[in-house]
Each structure stands twice: as structure tokens, then as C-alpha cells.
Chains A and B, each alone.
Chain A
Amino acid sequence: MSMLRKPSTMRPLAQTIQLLFWSAVTAWASEPKSSASSGTNIFAPASTPAKSIADLSIFVLVITGIIFVVVFGLLVYSVVKFRGRAIGANREPAQVYGSTQIELAWTIVPILIVVVLFLATARVIHAVEDAPEPAGAVEVTVIGHQYWWEFRYPKLGIVTANELHIPVSDPSHSTPTFLQLLSADTDHSFWVPELAGKTDLIPNHPNRMWMDPQRTGVFLGQCAQYCGTQHAKMLLRVSVDGPEDFAAWARAQQRPAVEDVGAIAGRRAFERNACMNCHAVGGRPANGRFGPDLTHLMSRATIAAGAAENTRQNLRLWIQNPGAIKPGSLMPAMKLSDADLDAVVSYMETLH
């Protein structure tokens, strides 16, 4: 696809250095990774913007690495070579005041390096930022809230939260996803390191970013701009699905909430209490917009913006006392009776 220009950098060298660098880093951080999801390593890109950035990064690392070796070498050499000796300690060395030629040399060479680095950088800035949106792109509106993510798919009529689903993009037939970034309250930043660089979500200042992941899987990230007390637990999961999986997911999300007569008590408790002031359940009177949409809550792997796994036990704890999982979260403890609490949790479990 020609519209997503890939800036050419020094590929083979870059890959070797990347490999070396990466094995050194993993040696430092040798911990078992959870197998279900990818890591958050900026040097393991899975999408064109992240890849362009990683390539540029390696190029910059190589140049700065060479500068480091040269200057560090000079520093060590002069410290070792010109260390003061005890003999003749009273004699002063030759008093040298400077040299115009040498000064010129170490002014012009850095200027040339800056020019090269700038040109390489400007090329990637343009390729990533000014990429036009193709007709088949998936559009998602991302709205940052204290402390969760709202995802809206205007073309597909889907509203969901915290776990973004996007289609995998085959390089021969690119289906990138373009995100429109908005904020409902304070500043946030959308950062999934293996898919793209971060872009802030700022109130009154809509932003845009895009990604075209080339492999399926779950990619992790989190809010990167300090947004308040629970900034730390504003986690992000991006599920990159194959085309059929994505279509199936989208169809399921477009349906209204399942009516399950077994959970009628819980539904009543939910609609009788303040729950529905903040949460929406599609097809029901509940249409609050302050908290995440719960229509298909059980299709999500986590609750509380990734802070806990979506299990019955965690749901019960979360509804009973959100502060136990996420102190400072804006969801109030509803103080439901045990019977109501169990009924509401059972109702939640029917929202597939």
C-alpha cells in the first residue's frame, strides 16, 4: 500500500543492533511474561507507525552511540594520559589558551550530524503524522475519562469501554484504524507501545492517530499522561482480531442487551438504584454516560479499566466497594444489601 510510506533506514544493521540491544535488555528484565498478551516493548513493533519509530530510534541510537564512544574515549584518554604525576609537581604544564581551527572542527562536525539527524527525523514525522486516511479505514472515537476509556465506532454503531477491538491489517490490503482522541475531563494519553507512539487526549483539542497492526493478539498499554488519583490503573487492552473475528465481534456488539428472565431481580435492582445514572445497557432504560457502557460487559476480559479480571468475585467486590480495587475511582460504593448485590452481579453476568 503506497499511501503508508515506510521510511527506509539501514535495515540489516538496524536489525542486528536491535537484536543485540534487545537481548541485553531482556537479560536485565528476565521475568516470566503472561503468555496471552504481548508486552509493551517499543522495540517490538507490530504496526507501521511503531515500526517507523523503532527504525528511526535504532538509527538515532547508532549515531548517538558513535558520538558517545568517541567523546567518552577522548575523556578517558585525557584523564589517564594527563593525570598529574608527583614528580616535578611544582612545574606547571604549557599554558594553552585555545585554537581556532580545533574549535571550528568541533563546531562544524556536530552541525553536520544535526542536519543528518533532522532530515531522517522529519521524514518519519511526515510519514506518520500526515498519512491520509484510506476509504476502508476503521474509525474509532476514543474518549478519555477519569480513569477509563470509552470507545465509540461511529460507522458501526458500537459503544464499548477499556478494551479496544480492531482488525488486523494485511499489508497487501491495508485496513488501518484511525482514532479520534477526545477527553471528557482532564488530559490523558493513549499509549500502546507496540502499535504506535502515544498521543494525548486533551479537552477541547481533538487529536488523531492511526495504527495498522500486522499480527493478531492482545496488545497492552495504559494512560501515559497524569490524569488524577488513579492514573496508574487506567490500563488499555487492544485486541487485534482477524477479519472474521472482528466482524463477529462487531455483530455481537451491535445487538442490544440479552434479556435473561433468570436475572430479572438483578436488573430491577440495577434500574432501581443509582447504577443506571452512570451506566448504559443497550435496549433498556439505563442510558447513563458517566461510566462505561455495560451492554456487553461479559465480552470484556477485565473490569475497572484493566485493574481486575472480569470474574464473579471481582465484580461483586467492585460493586460493593470500588475503593478496594481502585482507591480514588469515581464509582461510589453503592451500599447494596447482600441480596441486591448478588442479584446485580448475576444480572451483570448475563450481559454477554
Chain B
Amino acid sequence: MSSNAITIPGTQIETRPWVDELHQWLATVDHKRLGILYIVSALLFLAVGGVEALIIRIQLMHSHNNFVSPEVFNQMFTMHGTTMIFFVAMPILFGFANYLVPLMIGARDMAFPRLNAFSFWLSFLGGLLLYFSFLGGSGLYGAGSAPDVGWWSYAPLGARAFSPGHSSDYWTLALLVSGFGSIGTAINIIATILCLRCPGMKISRMPLLVWMNLVMAGMVLIAITPLSAAQIMLLIDRYLGGHFFDTQAGGSAVLWMHFFWIFGHPEVYVLIIPCFAFMSEIIPVFSRKPIFGYPVMVAATVCIAFVSMSVWAHHMFTIGMNSYANSFFTLTTMAVGVPTGIKIFNWIGTMWGGRIQFKTPMLFSIGFLFQFLIAGLTGIMMAASPFDWQLSLSYFVVAHFHYVIVGGILFALFAAFYYWYPKITGRMLSERLGKWHFWLFLIGFHLTFDVMHIPGLLGMPRRIYTYEPGRGWDNLNFIITVGAFIQALAILVFLANLVISYFKGARIGNDPWDAWTLEWSISSPPPAYNFATVPTVASRRPLWDLKHPEDPDSRYE
């Protein structure tokens, strides 16, 4: 095992002027630095998207509120959704994949380091382009301010007749540009995993995190391409006289929906599968047991990937598809629940009989399991298409997908932050602040998103900037807004923890959690070359073998 570090002159000892340091970061092709860049830029966008969410919540605090105009409200929910999906969730997960995949397979970098840098900067510039739209003037035709067509920009609202000026062009170009970045990263992840594994790491021995990121990257290739195609078609409509989605000239609004959701639904799994990956690494370590049913977990992941490609029209149950189509998409959508359920059972099976350590990463993981269970079950409700004829486009849906994205994805991300922060920085995140963060966020989350289901059942549609009094929605919306501010407070605790611990956190060495995968065998933070000598592995848990020579895993494989 290659735990010994070698010192290369000029890489670690010298302190350089800050301009050089900045240049190093801007021109880096190191997978670890690019991973950090992805994560930090996503955190910036998270703060912006979070402020947008708070503006939305203040406006909806009570009926007939006048905090912002309808135009601004519509821009806020459009920008919030677009930002959170494309410039927070995807980049932050790509960042972790970038950082962790080479370390976990014993590689010294990604397969295509320069493509890696190119992809990051494309994605980041896509985000800047989106926000550049705010600099336009909302009153000027030909200019236009931030897009206000919703994050799926349904045709024909995105056509020039209904979105004059350039506001929705910023949206289109931002997604197109960052989409190319995503495709580049996906190709890179696939190539890295297939080609750069260290000796002994058969594909059946890869850590589940690596497996799941492989599946995620494959899904990105399939899901992002139709989105990019649709954006190009929309640009042709808007500027070259095309009529793909221009209903005034006989184009099809439904065609846009199909294009968008055949991207949009796999996208959900692109986001959640890396979070499954975090869970599959963190839960075993803090339960002190190997993952229960490794081959079944791999099979379930691949199965989810395939089935999730055929469920997209469950976003379109209200568009008047015939009863056969509605039945088909009901069946496929419910079927996704089976492999997803298997995963939840396997995580519980991993904890079963273990000795669970309630460190902050594990607290967030247990939160993930609980909330993901509920999110899955409300998903089953909406899979029953007649039920969805009521629930779709209502606040129930908003509650459901925030349960997935915040209760699932964000909780898993927090677990990942607390788990890998010591590897990335060499210092532990404060456990005390971490517990404050966890409990505050948990309370805020449930106050907001548990309650949010109810106005949906009471007939409150989404994307309305105000509502009539006397519908029974006021008190509920007030509670939801209070919860949103508690979540914001928790995020501030988290950001403070990230900063304070960077300077003051305890230094704890290579392997603070007594874990089993290769990244914990090297120093924290890892040297630029990762592994002084490329390791050789004989099982799925190489560090277990090293720590327990009397009872190595390799004996059972």
C-alpha cells in the first residue's frame, strides 16, 4: 500500500505570491482542484438560489402580499429552479465525482485532465451567462431582464411571440453551454473508470461510489443530449424562422414537453444516483459493516438507470394522453420504485447488526433514508396518474420534489461534506457546529416541506405569485415560510463551519473515520500525484484487508 508520500521540490514547500496561486487555480488541470472549484462555485450559486427561494417564500407568506411584482416573482422561481438544478446540484455532484473517483480507483488523475478543466469552465460560464440576464432592462423589447418562463420553459411561452427580447435566450444559451460541459465531464468519468483502475481493481471490486458515478455519467450522456438538441431547435425557432415549437405556425407544444422531460426525468436520477453513492460509502463505515448485497446494489442501480429512461411522460399526465399511454407510464414509474426500495432495504440491512456511530455524516445519512423513503412514497402516489390529475402542477408536487432534492440530495451532500472534508482540507469539520447544522436544518426542512404537501391537496397551484384569501392556504404558507428561514439559518451555520474549520479544525491524519477505501490510505489533503506508488488491491475494501490481515475480505471473494 502506498501510504508513503514523496516530496517533489516546488510543489508543496514554497509559498508563492497570491497572483501565482490564483493563476494555479485558474489554469489547473488537477482533478482535485477542479473538484474543489466545482464545489465552491456550486456553493456560491446555492447561496444565490437560496436567496431567490427566500424572496419567493416572503411573497407567499400571506394572501395578496405585495413584496415583489408578479414579473419579479416569475423571474425568481425560474432562476431558482434553473440555478439549483443546473448550477448547484449537477456541478457539486460532478465536483465530488471529480475529486473522489480517481482517488478511489487508485488513479493519479482523470483520463482527460484538460477536457476536465474545459468542462468545468463551460459549466461555470453557463451560470454566469444566466445571471448576466439580470443586467438587461425589463421594459425594453430587444433587451429583457432575467427569464420568467419557468425552469422548463414550456412552448409556446418561450417563443418570440410570448417572450420578446433576450431574457429566455440567456436561459437557452446557459443550458446549452453548461450542457456541453456536463457531457464532457460525463465522458471523462466514464473513460477514467473504464481505463484507469489500479491493478487488482476488477470492475466487480470497484467501490459502489465509483459504480454509481459510472452509471450517472452514462445517464448524463443520454439525458443531456436531447435537452441540448431542444435548445438548438428553440434557437432555430427564435432566430432562423423555424417552427418546431411555434404553435402559432403549426408547431407542437407537446413535442417540447417530450424533449424536455426525456431529459428532465433521467436528470432526477443523474442527481440522486451520486447521492446513493455517498450513502453506500458512508453508511457502511459508520455501521462498521460492509455494504449489504453489493452485487444487488449494482444491479439495482443499473436497473434504475434503464427504467428511468422510460418514465418521462409521468410529468405529462395532464396533457391529455390516451388511457394506454397513461397506463404505460403509470406502470414504468411504479416499477422504478422496486429497485429504489431494494436500495433502501440494503442500507437498512447494512446498519442491521452493525455498531452505528452517530457522527454528523451518519446523522445526515439517516435523515436521507427517512426523507427519501417519504419522497419515494409520495412519488408512488403521483405515479397513479388519476391521483396525479389532482396533484400535478400543485404545491403537492413542489413538496414532493423538494423532498427528493433537499431531503434526499442535499442531506446526502451534507453527509458527504462532513465525511470527506477532512480528506480534502486535512482538518475536521466541527462536530458541535455540525450537530447544530443538522438539527436546525432538519427542523426547518420538515416545517417547510411536510406542511407544503397540504396546500396542494387543498387546490393551491404552483407558480402563482399570490393567492386569494379564504382558501385555507394562508396559515400553511406562513408556516412554510418560517421553516424556510430556519433552513437558511442552518445553511449559514454550515458555511460558517466550512470556513472556521478550514483554519481551526482539528488535524486528524489520513484516516479519521477508520474507513476502507483507497482515498483514506494517502495523506490529507492528498498530494498532487495522489499515489506515490500505484496501489494493488485484492478486494472491495483494500484498507480492511490492510487493517485486518488475519481476516481479509479477499478471502471471501
Q: Is the CB of B357 within 8 A of A202?
A: no
12 more A-B residue pairs beyond the given contacts A71-B344, A121-B385, A231-B464, with a C-beta to C-beta distance below 8 A? A53-B386, A57-B381, A72-B370, A74-B348, A82-B352, A98-B294, A121-B386, A124-B386, A185-B162, A198-B392, A229-B71, A328-B71
Answer yes or no: B342 CB below 8 A from chain A CBs: yes
A21 closest partner in B (C-beta)? B457
Contacts known (A40-B458, A53-B390, A79-B356); A226 close to B253, Cβ less than 8 A: no
Q: Is A125's CB under 8 angstroms from B327's CB? A: yes
Q: Contact at B476–A193, with CB atoms within 8 Å?
A: no
- A84 nearest CB neighbor, chain B only: B355
Does A225 contact B474, Cβ atoms closer than 8 Å? no
Closest to A90 in B: B514
The smallest beta-carbon distance between A231 and chain B, in angstroms, is 6
Contact in complex: A60, B393 (CB < 8 Å):
no
**Which of A114, A121, A203 is in CB contact (< 8 Å) with B247?**
A203
Stretch at the interface among B234-242, B264-272, B328-336: B328-336
Distance between Cα atoms of A185 and B162 in the complex (Å)? 9
**Is the C-beta of A261 less than 8 angstroms from some C-beta in chain B?**
no
Q: How far is the CA of A204 from the CA of B155 in the complex (A)?
A: 12
| Interface assignment of A126: CB less than 8 Å from any CB of chain B | yes
Q: Are B373 and A193 in contact (CB under 8 A)?
A: no
Which residues of chain A are within 8 angstroms of B344 by Cβ–Cβ distance?
71
Within 8 Å of chain A (Cβ to Cβ): is B463? yes
Residues of chain A lying within 8 A (CB to CB) of residue B150: 226
Segment of A103-111, A136-144, A273-281 in the binding face: A103-111
A-B pairs with beta carbons under 8 Å apart, 28 shown: A33-B470, A39-B472, A40-B458, A42-B458, A50-B390, A53-B387, A57-B381, A57-B387, A60-B380, A82-B352, A82-B353, A82-B354, A93-B288, A94-B353, A103-B346, A121-B330, A186-B162, A202-B253, A203-B156, A204-B247, A204-B250, A207-B320, A208-B320, A221-B459, A226-B154, A235-B468, A327-B71, A328-B71
A84 touching B475 by the CB < 8 A rule? no
* Chain B binder among A61-69, A244-252, A286-294: A61-69
On chain A, the residues within 8 Å of B319 by CB distance are 199-200, 202, 205, 207
The contact of B70 among A97, A130, A232, by CB within 8 Å, is A232
Report yes or no: B389 in contact with A53, Cβ–Cβ below 8 A. Answer: yes
Binding site for B on A (CB under 8 A): 25-26, 28-34, 39-43, 50, 52-53, 56-57, 60-61, 64, 67-68, 71-72, 74-75, 78-79, 82-85, 89, 92-99, 102-103, 106-107, 110-111, 114, 117-118, 120-122, 124-126, 128-130, 181, 185-187, 189, 191, 193, 196-200, 202-205, 207-208, 220-233, 235, 306, 327-328
Across-interface contacts of B348 in A (CB, < 8 A): 71, 74-75, 78
Residue of A nearest to B349 (CB): A102
**B458 lies within 8 A of A41 (CB):** yes
Is B290 among interface residues, defined by CB-CB distance under 8 A?
yes
A31 CB contact (under 8 Å) in B148, B326, B472: B472
- Name the residue on A nearest B381 (C-beta): A60
B211 → A minimal CB distance (Å): 15
Tell me whether B466 is interfacial, beta carbon within 8 Å. Answer: yes
Q: Are B157 and A228 in contact (CB under 8 A)?
A: yes
Contact: A111 with B338, CB < 8 Å? yes
- A106 touching B154, Cβ below 8 Å: no
In angstroms, Cα B384 to Cα A121, docked, is: 6
Q: Whose C-beta in chain A lies nearest to the C-beta of B455?
A: A29
* CA A98 to CA B387, docked complex, whole Å: 37
Q: Mark each residue of chain B from 446 to 457: 1 if its CB lies under 8 Å from any CB of chain A, else 0.
A: 000001001101
What is the distance, in angstroms, from B56's C-beta to the closest C-beta of chain A?
13
Q: How far is the CB of A7 from chain B (nearest CB, A)?
A: 9
A220 to B459, CA, bound (A): 9
Does B461 interact with chain A (Cβ within 8 Å)?
Answer: yes
- A229 with B473: in contact, given A83-B358, A202-B319 (CB under 8 Å)? no
Q: State whether B459 touches A42 (Cβ < 8 A).
A: yes
**Residues of A close to B357: CB separation below 8 A:** 84
Interface size on B, residues (CB 8 A): 103
Docked Cα-Cα span, A187 to B260, in Å, equals 15
Q: Total contacts A to B, CB within 8 angstroms?
A: 299
CA distance A131 to B178 in the complex (A): 46
B464 lies within 8 A of A95 (CB): no
* Bound Cα distance A205, B467 (Å): 29
Residue picked from B322, B460, B470, most chain A C-beta under 10 Å: B470
Q: How far is the CB of B83 from chain A (nearest CB, A)?
A: 18
Contacts of B71 in A (CB 8 A): 229, 327-328
Residues of chain B lying within 8 A (CB to CB) of residue A29 = 454-455, 458, 472-473, 475-476
**Taking the complex as formed, is B318 at the interface, i.e. its CB lies under 8 A from any CB of chain A?**
yes
| Interchain CB contact under 8 A, A129 and B326 | yes
Which residues of chain B have C-beta atoms less than 8 A from A74's C-beta? 348
Chain B residues near A120: list those with CB within 8 A: 384
Which residue, of B322, B386, B476, has the highest number of chain A Cβ atoms within 10 A?
Answer: B386
Check A82–B384 contact: CB distance below 8 A. no
Distance in Å from the Cβ of A97 to the closest Cβ of chain B?
Answer: 6
Q: How far is the CA of A94 from the CA of B370 in the complex (A)?
A: 25
- Asked if B429 is an interface residue, CB under 8 A from chain A, the answer is no
Contact A95 B318 (CB under 8 A): no
User: Which residues of chain B are within 8 angstroms of A94 by Cβ–Cβ distance?
Assistant: 289, 353
Judging by beta carbons under 8 Å apart, are B296 and A103 in contact? yes
Residues on A with C-beta less than 8 A from B156 are: 185-187, 203
Query: Contacts A98-B296, A103-B342 given: A52-B69 contact, CB under 8 Å?
Result: no
Task: Return chain B residues, CB-CB under 8 Å to A122.
Answer: 327, 330
B320 x A327 contact (CB < 8 A): no
| A199 with B320, Cβ < 8 A, contacts A42-B459, A99-B293, A122-B330 known | yes
Determine the chain B residues whose CB is within 8 A of the CB of A52 once the complex forms: 386
Q: Which of B318, B358, B463 contacts A198 (CB 8 A)?
A: B318
Chain B residue, CB-CB nearest to A22: B457
Chain B nearest CB, measured from A74 CB (Å): 5
Residues of A contacting B370 in the complex (Cβ-Cβ under 8 angstroms): 72, 75
B384 touching A56, Cβ below 8 Å: yes
Of all chain B residues, the one with the shortest Cβ separation from A57 is: B387
Instruction: Give the chain A neighbours of B383 by CB distance below 8 A.
Output: 117, 121
Query: Which of B154, B385, B390 has the most chain A CB within a 10 Å cutoff?
Result: B390
- Per the bound structure, the CA–CA distance linking A114 and B335 in Å amounts to 7
B119 proximal to A (CB < 8 A): no
A95 and B69 CA atoms in complex are apart in Å by 59
Shortest distance from the beta carbon of A348 to any chain B beta carbon, whole Å: 23
Question: Is B373 a contact of A200 with CB atoms below 8 Å?
Answer: no
- Residues on A with beta carbons closer than 8 Å to the beta carbon of B457: 25, 41-43
A60-B380, A78-B352 given; A97·B292 CB < 8 A: yes
Say whether B466 contacts A82, CB under 8 Å: no
Residues of chain B within 8 A (CB-CB) of A99 are: 292-293, 349
Interface contact A231-B463, CB-CB below 8 Å:
yes
Assembly CA distance A129 to B267 (angstroms): 30
Closest to A106 in B: B345
**The one of A56, A130, A199, A227 that contacts B387, using a Cβ cutoff of 8 Å:** A56
The residue on B at minimum CB distance from A74 is B348
Cβ contacts under 8 Å, B366 to chain A: 75, 79
Asked if B318 and A189 sit within 8 Å, CB to CB, the answer is yes
Whether A30 touches B475, Cβ cut-off 8 Å, given contacts A103-B293, A122-B327, is yes
**Cβ–Cβ contact A203 & B253, under 8 A:** yes
Q: How far is the CA of A95 from the CA of B296 in the complex (A)?
A: 17
CB distance B475 to A197 under 8 Å? no
Using Cβ atoms and an 8 Å threshold, which residues of chain A touch B330? 118, 121-122, 125
Residues A199 and B288 in contact in the complex (CB < 8 Å), given A25-B457, A231-B464:
no
Query: CB distance B334 to A118 under 8 Å?
Result: yes
Which residue of the partner chain, among A40, A78, A207, contacts B471 with CB atoms under 8 Å?
A40
Pairwise interchain contact A229-B466, C-beta atoms closer than 8 A: no
Question: Scoring B residues 462 to 499 as 1 if CB is less than 8 Å from chain A, else 0, what string do you get?
Answer: 11111110111111100000000000000000000000
Q: Which residues of B contact A224 (CB under 8 A)?
A: 318, 392-394, 461
CB of A96 within 8 A of CB of B353, answer: yes
